[in-house]
Amino acid sequence: MRCGRLMFWCIAILFATPVLLAERTEKKTWEWTIEERASRRLDPSLAAARRAVALAEGQIDRNSDLNVVLGSHDPELLMPWELMDRLLAAFHFRDAAVREKYRRQWFTPSACSFLGRDAFSRLEVILQPWIAASREAETVQAKLKTAPAAERETLQDQWQRANDSICPLRADALSAARKTFGRVNFDRFLYEVVAPGAVVLTTPSSDSGSRAELETWVEGGCR
């Protein structure tokens, strides 16, 4: 009787496993919709499992209650605009060593097989308006720390304009990159090349619908 029960469970597991795997691999990581990413990201049991992995790898503090996504484990849960922010580090980062590290890592011949050999220089042109706005916002913010009171209001207005332009310029850059390289090629580059190593922390939420609306708004340029 025990052997019969054991055989039954082995058969059940054998046939159930491909079903579970199919649920995970039915779509490529770059093919998920924003709604699918948000729903899976906010699922409490899945969020708890990701948190356990992040804790085991030392990626988050034990006292943190933030929702975590590790790009090396669950890249499909990351939003395209989040990966664009990560991509920017190869073009605009205060530490030149960090910029060089990401350039070497992401723009190797094999990594750029989706985009072509001149991917870096072409992307640099596409991202330039976004880079310029980010640089201006950081420069003005640094000035604000030591500016006399008489200059602070003007600098604050200048920073606000630059900061408000970052979201739409990032969306424009994403759209332009997709048109230049092809949407599938560029999104595949983001999810297969840029996503690994990413650690994204967000405030927990139970409303995936509202979260999806917010993410759609951000990807659309906060417009």
- If one compares 8 and 195, the residue with the highest pLDDT of the two is 195
Q: Does residue 89 contact residue 80 with C-beta atoms inside 8 Å?
A: no
Q: Whole-angstrom Cα distance, residue 118 to residue 100?
A: 16
> Residue 189's pLDDT is what?
96
User: Residue 50 contacts by C-beta under 8 Å, 6 or more apart in sequence?
Assistant: 67, 68, 69, 70, 73, 74
Q: What is the pLDDT of residues 85-125, one digit of tens each?
A: 999 999 988 788 999 999 999 999 888 788 988 999 999 99
Q: What percent of the chain has pLDDT over 70?
A: 88
Whether residue 160 is predicted with pLDDT greater than 90 in this model: the reply is yes
Q: What is the end-to-end Cα distance of the chain in Å, rounded? A: 65
Buried b / exposed e over 83-119, threshold 16 CB at 10 Å, is bbbbbbbbbbeeeeeebeebeeebbeeebbebbeeeb
Whether residue 18 is predicted with pLDDT greater than 80 in this model: the reply is no
Whether residue 13 is predicted with pLDDT greater than 90 in this model: the reply is no
Q: Whole-angstrom Cα distance, residue 35 to residue 112?
A: 28
What is the sign, positive or negative, of the torsion defined by CA atoms of 60, 91, 103, 121? positive
Q: What percent of the chain has pLDDT over 90?
A: 73
